[in-house]
């Protein structure tokens, strides 16, 4: 993750301040008791009341002191030595109280700055004190950024932090705050073994128990050796994924991977209910990952003609972004491969493509469209991965038109744009 992206996490939306505004109006209406007070006087009284309340809250003095030190420590205009001294005193001030203050907005930002600008020793001190609480921190709208900061700046703590989330992945990927932390762990910080462990939680408790007995067990091996367990695991995965789709957690790469694995093992009848749900969402949300692209093609393949038309038309506003993306471009190739209505595809996709051909032809991803138009799904033009992906989604396809005929119709439409005298 880039430092720019990490820095952005210290900013918070205006919604987080709505509570203060509401509290002020409540004070204005109920606490003043004097309608003759001016707006300025009411605001002054509100601030006095608010400050009085704060003084009675736990760790008030420490947080007040920390804020003053924080302003110095993060100010690049201040002398470096003075900033270092302020940071050292700041860490000493909040040490021992991190668990209590990390859920608060201002204190959370202070801790994030300490992790970003502190020494390795100071960072490790903070990370170690928070050990054992990372799951609860990830579920808070402010402290979830502390978790991602620790992951970024304290590499020696990553394994311990990832292990804290074990057994709770399915629940947390549906949580409005924790879901982004889980997905960042999956995409950025988890090693191959840990990624597999995260994915396997979606297979259900029965698989987890069997995996403890046989560490080398995979779902493929289980389905092959004990096919009687297949139905239970597939049913559990299908139900879990439907719940995740309902929660609106479809943008995450971890979810794309689990959807991909489910559809890879599922029969068309097992996948039917989930695919019906996925037809209602915008497939552009899926196509930016390898697994999401496969899922989107499976949905398109199983859709009826009317739904396919709606899906293809829905791509129009996202088309340029999709074509320039590695997996997005493969998805568009898959659309050509699966769609019988070549007239619709030509109007909805190829017209826009040829209008910006000069831009697309120099992009290695967008060029795949030209390759397909000229060569079809030939192994001479496409990698084994692309060919295998198209073959895998074919098992869901409801296409009735011959593939060679579709390729010919698309090329005939494209000739005036490709072969200019």
57-81 per-position pLDDT tens digit: 667 788 889 999 999 999 999 999 9
**Lowest mean pLDDT: which of 11-15, 165-169, 324-328?**
11-15
Token pair 């990624």 is found at 195
Question: What mean pLDDT comes out for the span 356-362?
Answer: 93
Percent of the chain predicted with pLDDT > 90: 67
Q: Which pLDDT belongs to residue 140?
A: 96
**Lowest mean pLDDT: which of 42-56, 177-191, 262-276?**
42-56
Q: Which pLDDT belongs to residue 25?
A: 52
pLDDT band at residue 40 under the 50/70/90 scheme:
confident
Record the tokens describing residue 267, joined without a space: 């029969």
Quote the distance between the C-alpha of residue 369 and its chain's center: 28
SS (H, E, C) the chain: CCHHHHHHCCCCCHHHHHHHHHHHHHHHHHCCCCCCCCHHHHHHHHHHHHHHHHHCCCCHHHHHHHHHHHHHHCCCCCCHHHHHHHHHHHHHHHCCCHHHHCCCHHHHHHHHHHHHHCCHHHHHHHHHHCCCCHHHHHCCCCCHHHHHHHHHHCHHHHHHHHHHCCCCHHHHCCCCCHHHHHHHHHHHHCCHHHHHHHHHHHHCHHHHHHHHHCCCCCHHHHHHHCHHHHHHHHHHHHHHHHHHHHHCCCCCHHHHHHHHHHHHHCCHHHHHHHHHHHCCCCHHHCCCCHHHHHHHHHHHHHCCHHHHHHHHHHCHHHHHHHHHCHHHHHHHHHHHHHCCCHHHHHHHHHHHHHHCHHHHCCCCCCHHHHHHHHHCCCCCCCCHHHHHHHHHHHHHCCCCCCHHHHHHHHHHHHHHHHCCC
392-404 per-position pLDDT tens digit: 998 888 888 999 9
Q: Is the dihedral of CA 68, 74, 77, 81 positive or negative?
A: positive
Judge whether residue 12 has pLDDT over 50: no
Q: Which pLDDT belongs to residue 58?
A: 62
Question: What mean pLDDT comes out for the span 35-54?
Answer: 72
Q: Which pLDDT belongs to residue 61?
A: 81
Percent of the chain predicted with pLDDT > 70: 88
Judge whether residue 15 has pLDDT over 60: no
213-225 per-position pLDDT tens digit: 999 999 999 999 9
166-190 per-position pLDDT tens digit: 999 999 999 999 999 999 999 999 9
Q: Which pLDDT belongs to residue 420?
A: 66
Q: Which pLDDT belongs to residue 9?
A: 45
Q: What is the mean pLDDT of the chain?
A: 88
Judge whether residue 95 has pLDDT over 90: yes
């Amino acid at each position: 993750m880039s430092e720019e992206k990490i820095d952005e996490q210290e900013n918070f939306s205006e919604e987080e301040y709505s509570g203060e505004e509401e509290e002020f109006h409540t004070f204005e209406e109920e606490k003043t008791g004097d309608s003759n007070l001016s707006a300025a006087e009411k605001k002054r009284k509100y601030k006095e009341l608010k400050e009085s309340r704060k003084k009675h809250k736990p760790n008030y003095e420490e947080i007040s002191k920390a804020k003053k030190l924080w302003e110095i420590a993060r100010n690049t205009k201040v002398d470096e030595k003075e900033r270092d001294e302020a940071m050292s005193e700041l860490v000493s001030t909040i040490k021992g109280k991190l668990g209590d203050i990390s859920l608060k907005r201002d204190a959370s930002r202070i801790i994030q700055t300490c992790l970003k600008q502190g020494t390795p020793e100071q960072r490790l001190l903070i990370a170690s004190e928070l050990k054992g609480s990372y799951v609860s921190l990830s579920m808070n709208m402010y402290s979830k950024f502390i978790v991602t900061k620790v992951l970024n700046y304290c590499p020696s703590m990553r394994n311990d932090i990832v292990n804290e989330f074990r057994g709770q992945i399915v629940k947390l990927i549906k949580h409005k705050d924790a879901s982004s932390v889980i997905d960042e762990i999956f995409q950025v910080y988890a090693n191959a073994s840990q990624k597999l462990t995260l994915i396997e939680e979606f297979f259900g408790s029965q698989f987890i128990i069997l995996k403890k007995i046989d560490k080398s067990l995979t779902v493929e091996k289980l389905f092959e050796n004990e096919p009687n367990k297949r139905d239970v695991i597939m049913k559990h995965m299908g139900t879990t994924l439907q719940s995740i789709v309902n929660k609106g957690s479809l943008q995450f790469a971890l979810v794309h991977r689990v959807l991909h694995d489910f559809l890879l093992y599922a029969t068309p009848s097992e996948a039917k209910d989930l695919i019906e749900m996925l037809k209602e969402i915008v497939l552009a949300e899926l196509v930016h990952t390898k697994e999401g692209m496969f899922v989107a093609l499976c949905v398109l393949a199983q859709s009826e003609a009317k739904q396919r038309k709606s899906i293809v038309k829905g791509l129009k506003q996202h088309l340029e972004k999709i074509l320039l993306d590695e997996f997005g471009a493969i998805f568009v190739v898959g659309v050509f491969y699966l769609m019988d209505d070549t007239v619709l595809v030509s109007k909805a996709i190829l017209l826009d493509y040829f209008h910006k051909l000069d831009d697309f032809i120099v992009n290695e991803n967008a060029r795949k469209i030209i390759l397909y138009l000229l060569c079809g799904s030939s192994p001479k033009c496409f990698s084994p991965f692309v060919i295998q992906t198209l073959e895998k989604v074919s098992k869901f396809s409801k296409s009735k038109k011959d593939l060679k005929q579709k390729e010919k119709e698309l090329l005939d439409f494209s000739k005036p744009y490709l072969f200019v005298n």
